[in-house]
Structure 1
Amino acid sequence: MTITLVIADDHPVVRDGLRGIFEGAEGFEVLGEAADGAEAVVLADRLRPDVVLMDLRMPGTDGVTAIRRLAERGNPARVLVLTTYDADSDVLPAIEAGATGYLLKDSPREALFQGVRAAARGEAVLSPAVASRLMGQLRAPAREELSRRELDVLRLIADGCTNKQAAARLFISEATVKTHLLHVYAKLGVKDRAAAVATAFQRGLFR
């Protein structure tokens, strides 16, 4: 299956480079390029890509605002942030706005391919550097403590497992995995997998 992409970055050289990387690999198709967040939203609405590669700091409409607008419009595209910034002030707002994942531009080419494939499947994607940053952040404590099984499920999700794969490893049904995830979301005060994994790292739930 071919994964379709829209690339949003204010630097033409970066857009050209990313287009070349993905068009030179099997299984990817770049549908369009955007120079700012507003253009990214327009293109995503018109072209309906599987994944939007979104820079954060762009003139005019920034990446976080664009991610939020796409979520508000119910656009099904998964947004994978691809930026040079891993500061605390950049990471969490992007994830909370609805980004499926967060990678840095110095990631190896294969990591970009894996990240886009995972994002297209709706899986949480976090580069190691970003995960480390999140672990150092202070947030409100969890409303309730996660059970051992809920932590087991969340660890597998953080490792990139799908619900089906997590179910197989834990010898439980896929429906039970989904139920555990819903409990995790409620206890951590988040709405999706990416935010759950980010919050778990940040609160030191994974050792």
Structure 2
Amino acid sequence: MLVKVIVVDPYQLVRRGITSILSGDPDIEICGEASDGKETMALIESMQPDVCIMNNRINQQNGLDVIEKLKHAGAACKFVYLTSSLHPSELSKALSIGVEGLLLKEALPEELLYAIRHVGRGRRYYDFELLESKLMEKTADNEYDLTPKEQEVLAMLSEGLSNREIASRLIVTEYTVKKHVSQILSKLNLPDRTKAALYFHSHNVQASQKLFAGSV
């Protein structure tokens, strides 16, 4: 499947660095570059890309605010948001506006390519380091008492990963993952993986808002 991509960053040097990485992948077609929201919307309308890679700062604006405006304006493509770090309030916003991909700028080129392919296929991709640092801490209001490992598996379920893919990431057997998934569904009283993924997003938006409120 060919994924059509545009790259948005205020600095040409950064854009060219990203496009040089993408140009070596036969499954990715680079449709153009933009430096601000206005250029991005025009490019989306003319090129109809599958994925837009968005920097966390676009001139004087937060990249998430730009994505939100683009979505409200009718942008139909999916977004991969590149950031150096993610404050709980930003994570909450990213989830609430439906950003499909979150990736650290320090990620390896292979991770960026994987994220683009993943998002291009209609799935979500959230850098596990972001989830681990911001969401996977066991909070006092964890009424279902998920273990740290179950929280990890739940986060990966929210990305749409299969048992085999989760097993590969955690370096465990598929049988072990299946047991974790079963325990998660049982503790959360949910019927299937899809509902578990929806629970994850809803629960962690609330958790990140609480963390932010507590830090003010």
Shift of 1:136: 6.6
The answer as to whether partners of 1:64 and 1:93 remain within 8 angstroms in 2 is: yes
Name the counterpart of 1:181: 194
Counterpart Cα distance in 1 of 2:197 and 2:115: 23
TM-score under structure 1 length normalisation: 0.70
Counterpart Cα distance in 1 of 2:201 and 2:158: 17
Name the counterpart of 2:170: none
Q: Runs of 5+ in structure 1 lacking a partner?
A: 171-176, 191-195
Deviations 1:65-124 (A, max 9, x none): 221123224432110001223333433322322211110111011111101111112222
- Aligned AA (2:194): L
Q: Runs of 5+ in structure 2 lacking a partner?
A: 167-176, 179-189, 211-216
CA RMSD of superposed structures (Å): 4.1
Name the counterpart of 2:2: 2
The answer as to whether partners of 2:3 and 2:27 remain within 8 angstroms in 1 is: yes
Name the counterpart of 2:173: none
User: Is 2:39 aligned against 1:26?
Assistant: no
- Aligned AA (1:114): Y
Structure showing greater radius of gyration is 2
Counterpart Cα distance in 1 of 2:15 and 2:93: 23
Q: Name the CA shift for 1:105/1:153 in 2 (closer, same or farther; >3 Å).
A: closer
Shift of 1:18: 0.6
The 5 Å alignment of 1:1-207 reads 1-135=1-135, 154=154, 157-158=157-158, 160-161=160-161, 181-182=194-195, 185=198, 190=202, 199=205
TM-score under structure 2 length normalisation: 0.67
Counterpart Cα distance in 2 of 1:51 and 1:178: 32
Deviations 1:161-198 (A, max 9, x none): 269x99xx96xxxxxx997635763x5674xxxxx7x5
Counterpart Cα distance in 2 of 1:161 and 1:136: 17
Name the counterpart of 1:193: none
For this pair of structures, how many residues does the alignment match? 190
Counterpart Cα distance in 2 of 1:64 and 1:78: 13
Which structure 1 residue ranges, 4+ long, deviate > 3 Å from structure 2? 136-139, 144-147, 151-156, 177-180, 182-185, 187-190, 198-203
